[in-house]
Structure 1
Amino acid sequence: MATGTSTELIALLHLASPALPIGAFSYSQGLEAAIDAGVIADADDARRWIADGLEIAADGEAVLLGQQFRNWAAGDIPAVATLNEWLLAMRESAELRQETEQMGWSLSRLLDELEWGNAQGRAALRAMRPLSLPTVYAYAAQSTGATLEDCLTAWLFAWTENQVAAALKAVPLGQVAGQRILFGLHGAIQAAAHRAAATPEDEASTFSPLLGILSARHETQYSRLFRS
């Protein structure tokens, strides 16, 4: 896999950091509902759920994030806006829609505060409401000069790490068990990023009925730690 300079790597690490103040820690993306439904009861269940979710993310959202990366690189703002609407429409439940909008807005605001990228791109984001997180993330990553595949690797690693963090709190798991899951998925993350980079936009698939059902159930779940 081609890699960028250390400056580009630092920027991607910044974007993938769990300390990025966009609220990722408050969402489980259906994992908490899966625990409540008995689908996840221990570390092995959590590993399978996260690994399956990584494949879903790679075949759907990551493919479209990659296309947004290309759209930003080409300066094609109408294409960015159209695909942003698609990214919003593909969310499986009200909570997942709210998640991508809230985090997209928060990241866009942060980029403005940091003057990340060029003024024209940030102005385009301000004019685009509501925003999906992949649209904003693709802009931020593309503006660093990083490669598409490195961008997708950072995105998918951050997604996986956040799922592990949610499992630590909600299953619950020990720290070593969580790190074992994350370490064991290193190769899967790299393969998923490579596949997503090579998949055409019109072949993106978000088919995940169990995730959609569990996410919808989470909206009325009695006891919750997370917002999704």
Structure 2
Amino acid sequence: MRLLQFGDSMLPVGAFSFSNGLESAVHVGVVHDPESLERFVRTATRQSATTDGIALLEAFRAAQDNDPARIARADHAVFNRKLNEEMRTMTVRMGRKLAEMAVKVLNATDVGDWLGVIKRGETPGTYPVAQALVFAALGLQERDAFAVHQYGLASMMLGASLRLMKLDYLDAQAILFRINGEAEAAYERAAVRSLDDMASYAPVSDILAAVHVRARVRLFMN
């Protein structure tokens, strides 16, 4: 039940307000049909697995070891690898909201301590690290936290696609099903990596997210 609640794609942490660059991709024609949409979302989840996913696992293990300095290193590693303003804004807003929710709902002391560090400006407070701390506080497994992060990203983007383009909701669910099928292999790869191994290469996605910041008309936040 805890996994269902905190893995819910509609968890009120602000995901509904962002498209992860998809809005610009639709506007410029990079995404224009179900096939191009699936390629774009798959690129995002693979990029996430090799960056956010690695940091999430590191933070989860650090939380279990009660190592705040290690958690902070993972947090900064995520933030420093967000190349554009939109991605940085998204991860810190969602991270802080999730931390605030955990303090209120779970009365999680460790998450509360981390939230205090965020408020003092000593760490950015990224979403993957917040997820790691919350799932550790719930006594769940790191695999669960990784899966929820990957699912949440794909679900967020596909939910946005239904508001941005002409798309059958059944096609969106079929895409989500196929992309979710890659999460287990992505976890196995990320689980043996360190923060130094965090890397991604998706220049088109990064450029589109940067373009979105200066767009005159937007449905989603930057």
TM-score scaled to structure 1, two decimals?
Answer: 0.90
Shift of 1:226: 0.9
SS at match of 1:185: helix
Q: Which amino acid aligns with 1:160?
A: A
Question: Pick from 51, 55, 58: which aligns with 2:42?
Answer: 51
Q: Which amino acid aligns with 1:215?
A: A
Is 1:62 matched up with 2:62?
no
Is 1:34 matched up with 2:25?
yes
**C-alpha separation between the residues in 1 aligned to 2:190 and 2:53?**
6
Change (3 A) 1:212 1:59: same
Q: Which residue of 2 aligns with 1:127?
A: 117
Gaps of 5+ in 1: 1-9
Q: Which amino acid aligns with 2:13?
A: I
Q: Which residue of 1 aligns with 2:167?
A: 173
Q: Which residue of 2 aligns with 1:6?
A: none
Q: Which residue of 1 aligns with 2:92?
A: 101
Shift of 1:27: 0.4
SS at match of 1:28: coil
Q: Which residue of 1 aligns with 2:204?
A: 210
**C-alpha separation between the residues in 1 aligned to 2:130 and 2:194?**
20
Shift of 1:116: 4.2
Most deviating of 124-133 and 68-77? 124-133
Q: Which residue of 1 aligns with 2:8?
A: 17
SS at match of 1:225: coil
**C-alpha separation between the residues in 1 aligned to 2:160 and 2:114?**
33
SS at match of 2:188: helix
Alignment of 1:184-195 (within 5 A): 184-195=178-189
**C-alpha separation between the residues in 2 aligned to 1:50 and 1:120?**
33
Question: Pick from 193, 199, 205: which aligns with 2:193?
Answer: 199
Shift of 1:198: 2.5
Q: What CA RMSD, in Å, does the superposition of the two structures yield over aligned residues?
A: 1.5
Change (3 A) 1:134 1:114: same
Contact 1:30 1:218 in 2 (8 A): yes
**C-alpha separation between the residues in 2 aligned to 1:17 and 1:142?**
17
Count of aligned pairs: 218
Q: Which residue of 2 aligns with 1:7?
A: none
Moved over 6 A (4+): none
**C-alpha separation between the residues in 2 aligned to 1:92 and 1:153?**
24
**C-alpha separation between the residues in 2 aligned to 1:187 and 1:120?**
32
Shift of 1:95: 1.3
